[in-house]
Each structure stands twice: as structure tokens, then as C-alpha cells.
Chains A and B, each alone.
Chain A
Amino acid sequence: MKSSTVDVLIVGAGPAGLAAAIELKRAGVKNVRIVEREKTAGGVPRHSFHPGYGLRDLKRFLSGPKYSRYYVNKALKNGVQISTSTTATDWIDPNTLTLTCPTGIEQVRASVILLATGARERGRAARAVAGKRPSGIYTTGSLQQATYLEDLYIGKTAVIVGTEHVSLSAVLTLKHAGVKTVAMICEKSKHQTVFGAPTIMKLLYRFKLHLATKIVEIQGDQRVTGVKVSRAGKEWVIAVDTIVFTGDWIPDHELARRGGIAIDRKYKSPITNGDSQIPNRSIYTIGNLNLPIKGADRCAVEARKIASKIAKQIHKGSILS
């Protein structure tokens, strides 16, 4: 088996991982490698085509893909090694990970490991939604990738479950895919995004907003035919062929847990000290692995700060390279 050593190994080439890598290189750390399990680096913004990225970190207003490309190019220019289609599958010890990629299996030992594995939206099963299992059920993530990356057929009419920021992104994606948003529903009695946004969207895109409404059952054998919902004891069916479950994020903590790292019960994020460090280990967590969910720019800004501290410690010799 191949084995190698680096100063810092970063798992995940999203905004946090990339921003941290750039900062580490800028601060003079020699070997910085990012492993990314997807074929392309960049993380979630890669498939989020609407503008609004880069406000806090770049003072610019970019689309997701442009924002991703900016970070990937900057990382490469700064000498960061990015390995795509490469999955960190397990730990050998707290400083060594096993990787699988098309060129083989490899062990990488690092003085510092940064976990930047991100977060995903909970799907229908994780929310314990009852009913049948037809096709036509998405999360915003899978919807965006099917729409923007592969241009696949989505459907005609949709219900969006959830009213977070990302839910608005689902409306835009559906519009792009030629799908009419019929309704947005949310179990809570108040929406979860910026003031006024759902109302503006509702008027702009002409859908109904049902708050304090619970999804009871998914209907349809081959394809979704509708969702049964309930509010204050009253049940009705919204006839649609597509359902998008949005938000309700959970950190992708699998690798952390496989390494025996303790998890916060509420947010399911790794438990760290104030500097995002796993106690007594040279492992740090950055980006949306630390919930609650943050925008890409905020992830990048925070990751940069943590990376700067790590670089100082490496230079001081308090972390041995």
C-alpha cells in the first residue's frame, strides 16, 4: 500500500477546506493536501447557481459555481495539492487516514488533520415521513445537481418542505428546471429564513405558504402523485409530482465518529474546544461540520481564522511537522 506524509491533511474541498488550505500555504506551511470525494472540488456552491456568494469573504456578489472556481483556482495557485475522487474511508490512528481513489489505496499521515466534511439535508426517511416510495422525491442538493449538473428531467409541479434559506434556493432551482412550485410547507409556525423573504417569493413565484403544517403521507406508486398534509387537525392532499425536502441539516460526521470523536447530541457536530480543536488531538473541524448551518462565506472566514492559528502553532513547533 502507498503511504505518504503531509503537514496538514484536509478532508473536504468545499469553501471551508479550500479557504483553510489557502491560508495555511500563505502562512508558509509546506505540504497541504485536500482530499475530495467528489469528482470536482468546490463543495455545495458548485451546484448552487444563483448569485449571493462571496459577500463576507471576497466582498463580491458571485454565483455558486463562480465562487467555487475562484477558491479552487486560488488554492491551486498557492500550491495546495487537491486530490478529487478520493475518499477518506477510515482511520489508522488519530494522525493517519486511509484513502481510496482510482489509482489505489493509500495511507496518509499528517501532523494536523482538518475535517471539513460539510453537512447534508435530511431526506424523507430521516424525517420519518410515512407513505409510499415513488420517484420524484428530492432534497435541494439532489435537485440542484440533477438540474444544473446533469440537466435531468425533474417534473411539472412541486411541494417544498421547509422554509430555510436553502428552501428559497429550491424555488429558484425548480423554476430553472421548469417546475411550478405549488406550495411551501413548514411544521413550525414561523418561517426559518430572513424576514419577508418567503412572502416576496410567494408573490413572485405564486405558490401557497402553509405554516404550522405537517406532511402526513407521500402518495404515488411509480411517481409521486401528491402529499397529504395536515394543519390543526385538518387534512388535505396537494396534488404534485415532485417533493423537495429542504434544510433540516445534519453534519456529515461519519468520518469523525469512525475516529471515535464525541458528538453533540443536539446538533450532531463533533465536540470541540473553543478553537474548533478535538480535545487532546491534532484534529480540527471547520465549515458546516460545525452546525448550525452557515453560508459558504462565513464558513470560509471562520476556516481562515482557524487555519491561521494552526499555522502559527506549526511554526512555533507546538505541533510537530
Chain B
Amino acid sequence: MSNQEFDLAIIGAGVVGTAIAREFAKSDLKIALIDEKADVGEGTSKANTAILHTGFDMTPGSLESKLVSQGYELLKTYAQEVGIAVEKLGALLVAWSQEEVENLPKLKAKAIANGYTQCELITKEGLYELEPNLGQGALAALTVPGEWIIDPWSPIIAFATQAKLAGVQVLLNTKVLKLSYDVDGFKLQSNNGQITTRNLINAAGLYSDEIDGELGFNDFKVTPRRGELIVFDKLARGLINHVILPVPSSMGKGVLVAPTVFGNIMLGPTAENLEDKTATGSTEAGIQGLLQKGARIAPSLLDEEITAIYAGLRAATEHSDFQIKLHSLGGKQNYLTVGGIRSTGLTASMAIAIYVKELLIKAGVEIRDSKELPKIVMNNLGEASLRSYQDVEQIKLKPLHGEIICHCERTTTQEVLDALASPLPPTTIANLGRRTRAGLGRCQGFYCHHELRKLLERS
């Protein structure tokens, strides 16, 4: 790549950047989606808590509230359309103190102000009937039946795949080194050469403030907020039936216990403001703190084995709301920043993309939806639907659907081969795992690591 010209470039291929790329791929604009990492969704997005949020606890009237509510319906429909695993679990907001009990009706009223009317207050007895393994001391709860769980990785892969098939250039391993603009447009100097574009969208997450800074804007500062998560063994799945939420505080939604569509139980996240944007390591204090909280919420959870521990950095800013800002730089050049997106970004992603498109249309960019996006079908990774290894018909067609390569996650060889032959093939074991679950299970590679590496290195 030496010098390429585009109508639109998007920096950042996380859930927001890929959703935007997919939305604009319907038009006849020439588009580039740029990320410094080797895969889409490799930054903050990969550590999402995997909940499809109704937006019941957002600040009423905020942009986040609006986009989460809209995005909820959009992503729910999209997931079912392309075959991304969701489970209609519902959440229980559990009050553990008298003060929290008194807060529950307020939260119900807030939900209604956000347009969500399905919340019900339930008694302690009702709560323990729904969740017999909950620790002692819960006093009451608020139900949020619309809070679902979702496969957090497949939407990103699906968005990027559709975008790519519709002609978007997905430029991975491409780090923007220098950024400037003049009458001809924006010039992005990267390790892979120069990219010129008339319109630029900054979806760079943790680095969105730095990209802003390069162009002289100073709307917000990103303070990475670390969230550590513990994933428990699949054998723990039967202990919990709903997403168990705490009563929220100013530092976020607090520590939750939630089943995952992959059949595990997740405990977390922590919330810790940092300076270092690369501090994605878990900490001993974080892990111990989570285990203590977990012991209170569901004591029997701690008898189960830990399958994975990871940490992600939310791109938090000094503002509580999403920071979506359009800067028209005279002439036909537009610069738009999508910043301050935290855990609700997955749910809101498709609505953010539409909102961004409307802002650019309003600014005078000619965008006409001239193409139908190519239809795609994602491989189901959820335990609630038929998996590859369970599918008699698929095995008949391709026998390797019957060969389980990752025993813990029951990924089949065919699923791995399909991922390696896909439009956006994985280049590392971890990226392969996000597409197939292979290697992410309880044995952490004891049995399958070498087989996976062999297939990956051969491809």
C-alpha cells in the first residue's frame, strides 16, 4: 500500500468501528477500516461483559439512553438474522442492604423514564425461588426480563465480514502515525503507507482523544478504566439462571454474576481508573476482590474451577454520556469522533452507526444506500442452539463436523477450517478462539493447543 484515496476512513475496528463500516458499506462510498491490531475487535471490545442491555438504568434523555434502546432492538434482530447466539435470560437487580431496597422503586421509575416498562419488584422469597444458589442476605430484587446475554465477539466479526464483502478495505496491522488535513482531505501516515480521505471517523476507543488531539480538538480525555473478569467452568452454569446485577453506583454497573451464551458463569467486572492505556493485565488484588464478592453473591460458585481470567480497559471520559462529535472542517471534509463508549457500546453499536450516518448526511455528505449487504451466516457458538458437533445433517455433509478438536469447548475441526478459510481469517490462536471458542476452555490448551497451532501455521 503506497497511497490510497478514500471517501471515508474509519480508525478503529472495534465493535463501533466495524458497525459503522458495515452501515456505510451500503453506500457507494470508497471506505477504509483501519486498525493497528492484527484482528478486528482486539482492543476494548474483546473484553465486553456480553450483555444485551435494555438501557433501563441509563440517564434518561441522554444520547446513551437513546442509542442503547435503539441498538438493543437492532442488534437483537441482527443476531437472530445472521445466527449470533443470544439467550433470553433476564436480569435480577439484587438489593443486599436496606438502602438498596429503597433504591429499587427509584430504579423502576428510571427504567420507565428510559422507556422500559417491564421491570417488577419481587420479594426475597420470590428471588430465592428464582435463584436458589444465591448467597444469604439478599433482601429484594427488581426484575429486568429484557436483559439478554449475547456472544460478544461474533457481532464484530459479522459486521466486519459484511463490510469487507461489500467492498470496504479492512486494513489491519495498520497504525496511524501522523494525521493532518488540508484542502485535499485528511492525510493519514501509517506504517503501511499513506491514506487520503475526504471524511474521517475516529472510533479509536482508548486512543480517540489522542487522534482528536492530532487534529487540534480537545473535547474529552480518555481515562482507561480497567475491568477484570473471572470466567468459571461450564459445570458451574447450572448454579445461576439470570444475570445477577448489583444496585449501580457512580463507578459503573458494579460486579455482576452472569451466565454466558457459551455456557460459563462470569464474575466481574472491577472498575479501576488508570493512566496506562496498555494495562490490560489482571491483578492479584482484582482477582481476590472479585472472588470475595462472588463468595457473597453465589458461594457455591467458588467450588468450581476457573476457566479464564482477563481484563479490559473501558474508554471512559470525564463525561458520563457518549461523546459523538461532528466537526465540519470547511468544504467537503468532515471529521467525526465517536468517543466515551463503554460497556453499552456492544448493544448500542448498530444505532451508533446509523446516528453517525445521519450526522454526516446532515453535514452535507452525499450518502445513498445503493447496495444490499451480502447475506452471511455466522457459526453458532452458543450452547442454547445446535452446535456443529451435535448436527447430524452437517456431519453427514462434512464428516469433520463430527471431529471434536477442542474438547472443552467442543469445537470441531470443520469449524476451525471454516474460520481459517473465512473472509477475515484469524492469524493467532486467540483470534481463532474468538471465532470458534477453540482453546478457550477449561484446559486452556492442554489437549488441543498443538493441533490448533498446526492448523493455523499451515494455513
Contact = CB atoms under 8 A, between A and B. Distances in A.
Interface of A: 1, 37-38, 85, 87, 89, 100-105, 120-126, 128-133, 135, 138-139, 141-142, 145-146, 149-150, 152, 216-219, 221, 250, 254, 257, 265
A131 B443 CA distance: 18
A150 B457 CA distance: 11
A120 B447 contact: yes
6 contacts: A89-B389, A100-B390, A104-B402, A105-B402, A120-B447, A138-B449
Contact of A146 (B281, B309, B389, B449): B449
Contacts of A130: 281-284, 286-287, 309
Nearest to A121: B446
B27 interface: no
B444 A254 contact: no
B305 A126 contact: yes
Contacts of B449: 138, 142, 145-146
Interface in B272-321: 278, 280-284, 286-287, 291, 303, 305-310
Contact of B429 (A121, A124, A129, A135): A135
Given A100-B404, A130-B284, A257-B235, A125 B444 contact: yes
Interface in B390-431: 390, 392, 395-396, 399-400, 402-404, 407, 410, 428-430
Contacts of A257: 235
Given A128-B309, A139-B445, A218-B281, A85 B453 contact: no
B450 interface: yes
Contact of A123 (B428, B430, B445, B451): B445
B454 interface: yes
A145 B428 CA distance: 18
Contacts of B282: 130-131
A38 B451 CA distance: 11
B445 A101 contact: no
Contacts of A38: 447
Contacts of A139: 443-446
Nearest to A105: B392
A142 B446 contact: yes
A236 to B, nearest CB: 16
B235 A254 contact: yes
Given A87-B389, A104-B396, A123 B446 contact: yes
**B interface, size bucket:** 35 or more
Contact of A125 (B235, B280, B307, B390): B307
A124 B453 contact: no
A104 to B, nearest CB: 5
B235 A131 contact: no
Contacts of A217: 281, 283-284
A128 B306 contact: yes
B66 interface: no
B76 interface: no
Contacts of B442: 126, 254
B402 A145 contact: no
A132 B307 contact: no
A100 B303 contact: no
Contact of A250 (B291, B305, B445, B454): B305
Contacts of B308: 125
A147 B305 CA distance: 27
Contacts of A149: 450
A129 B288 CA distance: 11
Given A141-B446, A149-B450, A217-B284, A265 B303 contact: yes
B308 to A, nearest CB: 5
Shortest beta-carbon contacts, A-B, top 4: A123-B444, A102-B399, A145-B450, A132-B281
Q: Is the interface of A mostly helix, strand, loop or mixed?
A: mixed
Contact of A133 (B305, B310, B403): B310
A105 B284 CA distance: 44
Given A126-B305, A135-B429, A152-B453, A102 B400 contact: yes
A152 B443 CA distance: 19
Contacts of A121: 446
Contacts of A37: 404, 407
A135 B428 contact: yes
A87 B407 contact: yes
Contact of B402 (A102, A135, A152, A265): A102
Contact of A120 (B234, B390, B402, B443): B443
Contacts of B407: 37, 87
A272 to B, nearest CB: 19
Contacts of A141: 446-447
B450 A142 contact: yes
Given A89-B410, A139-B445, A254-B235, A105 B395 contact: yes
Contacts of A102: 395, 399-400, 402-403
B168 to A, nearest CB: 27
Contacts of B399: 102-103
A132 B280 contact: yes
B283 A146 contact: no
Contacts of A254: 234-235, 442
A247 B449 CA distance: 17
A219 B283 CA distance: 11
A303 B446 CA distance: 24
A89 B388 CA distance: 13
Contacts of A104: 392, 395-396, 402
Contacts of B410: 87, 89
A120 B446 CA distance: 7
Given A130-B281, A130-B287, A219-B281, 10 more contacts: A89-B390, A104-B392, A123-B443, A125-B306, A135-B430, A138-B445, A138-B449, A139-B443, A139-B444, A254-B235
Nearest to A220: B281
Nearest to B231: A125
A1 B391 CA distance: 11
Nearest to B291: A128
B453 A146 contact: yes
Contact of A221 (B278, B443, B446): B278
A152 B446 contact: no
Contacts of B234: 254
B394 to A, nearest CB: 10
A101 B392 CA distance: 10
Most buried by A among B234, B278, B447: B447
A49 B309 CA distance: 32
A33 B389 CA distance: 21
A150 B448 CA distance: 12
B444 A124 contact: yes
A146 B450 contact: yes
Nearest to B400: A102
Contacts of A1: 392
B390 A105 contact: yes
A265 B443 CA distance: 19
Given A125-B307, A130-B282, A130-B309, A103 B402 contact: yes
